[in-house]
Amino acid sequence: MAQDIKPTRKNLMEIEDRIELSERGHDTLEQKRDGLIMEFMDILDQAQDVREDLEGDYQTAQKKINMARAMEGDIAVRGAAAALEEHPEITVESRNIMGVVVPQIESTKVSKSLDERGYGILGTSARIDEAAEAYEDLLESIVLAAEVETAMKKMLTEIETTKRRVNALEFKLLPELYDGQEYIEQKLEEQEREEIFRMKKVKAKKEEDEEEEDEAADAYYLGEEDAPADD
């Protein structure tokens, strides 16, 4: 509380320094918060598109695989899947968005040509090829969705953290510092007025004492002049 602060010039200067530093920090955090929100909105728009694409790719993949199973049988479909020799590879790196580290996921060997899928062209049908291609597209959508969703969650967490810091400065620390500054300034002004009043009283008392001494001296000299001279 402000009343717990000793009202001295030194403490006033310290509080003024803390206010200046806190105000700069508040402005910086506000700018960061606003920047993060703008970046988050861009990612949110991207996430909505990715989710729609993911849902569409999933529905397409399900239709294609169901059609292949119905026309070619589960054994043929499973055999084509088991023939895959090179499996997709996922690499995760990172990138920085307004000080927030988010993942950057790269996928390789997902989309394949007919001869790269491992099964013989003559031994399968176009329905299995279409199902394989649909699931390759679905996997790429899943990878992209994972990257965007993770980035969105990290950005949202950082936004909430930054907002809490801004609010702590704006509604707690800075008001307390302003109250402390005002309290010390008022106390110092009171002390200054009291000192001025005291000095005036001292001066008045000194002048009064000097006046009394002058009157006493004048009375003494007058008494000397009026006294009868010795014979």
Residue 27, helix vs strand vs coil: helix
CA 118 to chain centroid, in Å, comes to 51
Span 148-181, pLDDT tens digits: 999 999 999 999 999 999 999 999 999 999 999 9
Taking the C-alpha atoms of residue 144 and residue 93, their distance in angstroms, rounded to an integer, is: 13
> From CA 81, how far away is CA 58, in angstroms rounded?
18
Q: Which residues contact 128 (CB under 8 A, 6 or more apart)?
A: 68, 72, 76, 77, 80, 119
SS3 60: helix
**Domain containing residue 44:** 20-163
Phi, psi of 6 (to 5 degrees): -75, 125
Residue 62 within a domain: yes
Instruction: Classify residue 152: in a domain, yes or no.
Output: yes
Kind plus residue range of the DSSP H or E element containing 185? helix 174-226
Mean pLDDT of 8-19: 93
So what's the pLDDT on residue 86? 75
Asked if residue 77 belongs to a domain, the reply is yes
Task: State pLDDT tens for residues 95-154.
Answer: 898 889 998 888 877 777 766 666 666 556 888 888 988 988 999 999 999 999 999 999
Report how many domains make up the chain. Answer: 1
| Domain membership flag for residue 61 | yes
In a domain, residue 142? The reply is yes
Q: Which two tokens stand for residue 223?
A: 């008494």
190/229 Cα distance (integer angstroms): 60
Strand bridging mode 100-108 / 89-97: antiparallel
CATH number at residue 29: 1.10.287.3240
Please check whether residue 200 lies inside any domain of the structure. Answer: no
Helices (H) and strands (E) in the chain, counts: 4, 2
Q: Specify the 3-state DSSP secondary structure of 96.
A: strand
Residue 201, CB-side half-sphere exposure with 13 Å CA sphere: 6
**Range among 20-34, 128-142, 216-230 with highest mean pLDDT value:** 20-34
Q: What is the pLDDT of residue 230?
A: 53
* Residues 32/99, Cβ–Cβ less than 8 Å: yes
Taking residue 94's Cβ as centre, other Cβ atoms within 10 Å add up to: 8
41: its two tokens? 């909105």
- CA-CA distance, 34 to 162, in Å (whole number)? 10
Within a domain: 5 = no
In a domain, 76, yes or no: yes
